[in-house]
Amino acid sequence: METLFMVLLTFFGYILMYRIYGKFLARAIFKLSKNASVPAKEFEDGVDYVPTKKEIIFGHHFTSIAGTGPIVGPAIAIIWGWVPALLWVFLGSVIMGAVHDFGALIISMRNKGKSISEFTARYINARTRIFFFVIVFLALWIVIAIFGLVIAIIFNIFPSSVLPVWLQIPISIYLGYIIYKRNGNVILWSIIAVIALYATMVLGAFLPLKMPEILGLPPTGIWTIILLIYAFVASVLPVTTLLQPRDFINAYQLLIAMFLMTLGIVVASFSGRLELVAPALQMNPPEAPSMWPFLFITIACGAISGFHSLVASGTSAKQVKNEPDSLFVGYGSMLTEGALATLVIASVAAGIGLGYQTADGKMLFGMQAWSTHYASWTAAAGLGSKIAAFVTGAANFITTLGIPQNIAIVIMGVFVASFAGTTLDTATRIQRYIISELASDVNAPFLAKRYPATAFAVITAGLLAFASGADGKGALTLWPLFGAVNQTLSALALIIITLYLRSKGGLKWMVSGLPALFMSVMTLWASLLNQENFLSAKNILLLTINGVIILLVLWILVEGSIKFFTANGKKEEISLETVK
């Protein structure tokens, strides 16, 4: 029963904090106004700037920020114990992550829908903005390359998920056509689309598609190429064609998956079969780095993630149709992701104990199952291992409801792959915005256009993906940098939000300033420890890139601190054009 109590208590806490702290931020800190001008209406173009109902944009925003982030992070951080993982997920999402996402969204909406890199110039200076661009480009470069690989790995491990994931695309396009061209009922047709998606899951369970080796390219390499081509096409289409309708389906898919998992926890708890098999606290697991500061780097999505600020200020700010909707979209999405991360923790801390199959086919149960998978940091490492731990645990919950194991596996495999796909094409779209903004600033109008900018984003990601060979795993070379880079980005975004609130006067800045200080300390600490490890391993590539990032971050922190302490606390109105 302790697993059920843990989940329900955490869910109740999220609902309570949304109603208390979220609405306080909306009313007293950001002062949302229904009559304020918003980019979605001011610059409406039918492609990127599209006023959208909050329920639909919530689906897009959530699935874009989630991806596999709230799955991979908690699934590895559980090695330090379920208590620190759960505490960080809850407290981090409520007082840091949700403030970060909500703040980035509303500030972008008040700055013509520009990216956080762009309006850095307004709140610090133009010089700092260029440094911010470098960090953002690097983070997105890794994300695009790695998420193509993530989906390829999911397809390789769970071939039954391939058919449903690809069939979701025509289902979504037809849903978009019905809603936007034929004025169909959004809820009714979305339900029909979700039913169609689940029908394809049953089909996928009986028709698994295993990619063979082609022309010397292994399956992961082939899938990575296909997915990068998909990312190009999906990210240049109008958001109403694929992105919004698919993400609305994914929002329903999320609610169904979370409902099935929670109901499975209830059934398993009352049947006496479920117990927490992970330790509550394990300070020194074999081969693992120190919990401080790496817990706060390992669990990003689900607590706080810099990538979220790019989504908020990259795509979502161009679609929210009025300021009050931003609370539901920005703050609400982050708490929902925290709820998902909570279920992930339950899956790998308890669900895995209901049955875990080893590589040699042996079935393990209880603490033996958990101890085998998490025998050491190395044993639990790897994208496939993390994803498999969650899918196995979650499927075990669902099977307690009488749903066959093979169907449960497909449901969770499609769930993970669908969210990863959303993150892939959203990251590509945001990278296009970043490249276009930078190209405009350096007078390169051709590269600022939609197709050339997208092509540049996809081709550079492809070069990284295949830098180490035909398997498409080149991004794993830079993956050790991503956690610290991503969380550094969250700290820098919080600094921008703090400077924005500082310009409004009073002590409003503290709601983001204290989280900014915490994240700055944790991420710099982790980056310095990583630098020491890279030096010991004589890894010149990672040593050099990480060293440059540390210098850029220190520069931005110094510039931000100077701006903070020299600002007079009065409202500043500076046009973005004046700093270019």
The dihedral over CA atoms of 551, 552, 557, 563, expressed in degrees to the nearest 10, equals 130
Domain extent listing, the chain: 2-360+368-579
The pLDDT confidence band at residue 580, using thresholds 50, 70 and 90, is very low
Q: Judging by beta carbons within 10 Å of its beta carbon (0-12, 13-18, 19+), is residue 284 exposed, middle or buried?
A: exposed
In the CATH scheme, what is the homologous superfamily, with its name and number, of domain 2-360+368-579?
A: Amino acid/polyamine transporter I (1.20.1740.10)
- Please enumerate in sequence order all residues whose Cβ is within 8 A of that of 291, keeping only pairs 6 or more positions apart, or say none: 80, 84, 283
pLDDT digits (tens, 9 = 90+) for 229-279: 999 999 899 888 988 888 778 888 888 999 999 999 999 999 888 889 999
Model pLDDT, residue 460: 94
CB 164 within 8 A of CB 245: no
pLDDT digits (tens, 9 = 90+) for 151-202: 888 898 889 999 999 999 999 999 999 988 898 888 899 899 999 999 999 9
Rounded to whole angstroms, the Cα distance separating 302 from 490 reads 13
CB 454 within 8 A of CB 427: no
User: Rounded to the nearest 5°, which phi and psi values hold at 283?
Assistant: -70, -30
What is the average pLDDT value for the chain, to the nearest integer? 89
User: Rounded to the nearest 5°, which phi and psi values hold at 499?
Assistant: -65, -35
- Please enumerate in sequence order all residues whose Cβ is within 8 A of that of 218, keeping only pairs 6 or more positions apart, or say none: 470, 471
Q: In terms of Cα–Cα distance, which of 392, 318, 299 is closest to 350?
A: 392
pLDDT digits (tens, 9 = 90+) for 307-349: 999 999 878 999 999 999 999 999 999 999 999 999 999 999 9
Residue 570: pLDDT over 60: no
- Segment among 33-37, 114-118, 271-275, 550-554 with least mean pLDDT: 114-118
Residue 375: pLDDT over 90: no
Six-digit token string for 112 = 């013509």
Beta strands per DSSP E along 253-346: none
Rounded to whole angstroms, the Cα distance separating 183 from 178 reads 6
